[in-house]
Amino acid sequence: DTEVTQTPKHLVMGMTNKKSLKCEQHMGHRAMYWYKQKAKKPPELMFVYSYEKLSINESVPSRFSPECPNSSLLNLHLHALQPEDSALYLCASSRRTSGDGYEQYFGPGTRLTVT
Amino acid sequence: SQQGEEDPQALSIQEGENATMNCSYKTSINNLQWYRQNSGRGLVHLILIRSNEREKHSGRLRVTLDTSKKSSSLLITASRAADTASYFCATANNNDMRFGAGTRLTVKP
């Protein structure tokens, strides 16, 4: 199984809502990532988990809160988002961190719209 | 934040022609990777080249890396309409991975 799954596929939320994005992999990967991608732009790294510990937090606003409950799951909790947070949110995983020479496997993404 | 630039930003070729995309970056790296993304979907890994390698091949793909110039190129030979996508280079350093701006490739049948 070389798949990274993400749910939901699409999400529309108001600025006062609280929602969560979920990501799952069963490849035994120990590094997991959240990226944000705006239209016609490259993915921007938000968070990196290595062995279930947060190792990189790219100065992301606190309205985004990541969680890694176990080695297969990654969540992104959303609260009080702004319309400019509307984007494609991509999850990825790799056997170990990419700096050690490992490719990342990406999920299909969650298309988030904040109204 | 973005690591570097890719050029061209957009490339349109006929099926059967070769496509070359270039990537420049700014910091030291452990390796450089190329990914493909079809419109609005997840990225697919194409090839990885380590900082001590200069050239690598995989099927119709050829990647070069020049660490002295902090640049890489991706060559796709004998292109097909199915190669139409956006192509991104990504530099990896420790736990960090940074994507370039990307090249939008259109292959006309």
In this complex, is the C-beta atom of A59 within 8 Å of any C-beta atom belonging to chain B?
no
pLDDT at A104: 95
Buried b (16+ CB within 10 A) or exposed e, B68-96: eebbbbbebeebeeebbbbbbbbbbbebb
DSSP annotation of A95 reads S
Residue corresponding to tokens 């035994």:
A28
Whether A5 has a pLDDT exceeding 80, the answer reads yes
% of chain A at pLDDT higher than 90? 87
What six digits make up the tokens of B65? 């890396």
| B94-105 per-position pLDDT tens digit | 878 899 999 999
CA distance A33 to A10: 19
Interval A20-44 mean pLDDT: 96
Question: Are B30 and A106 within 8 A, CB to CB?
Answer: no
Q: Which residue of A has its CA nearest to B33?
A: A103
In this complex, is the C-beta atom of B44 within 8 Å of any C-beta atom belonging to chain A?
yes
In this complex, is the C-beta atom of A90 within 8 Å of any C-beta atom belonging to chain B?
yes
Interval B53-72 mean pLDDT: 97
Sheet containing strand B71-76, strands side by side: B5-7, B19-24, B71-76, B61-66, B55-58
Best B61, B97, B104, B105 residue to mutate vs chain A (most A CBs within 10 Å): B97
pLDDT at B2: 54
Whether A20 has a pLDDT exceeding 70, the answer reads yes
| A58-92 per-position pLDDT tens digit | 789 999 999 999 999 999 999 999 999 999 999 99
Give residue A57's pLDDT band: very low, low, confident or very high (50, 70, 90): confident
A42, A56, A109: residue with CB nearest B95: A56
pLDDT at B3: 62
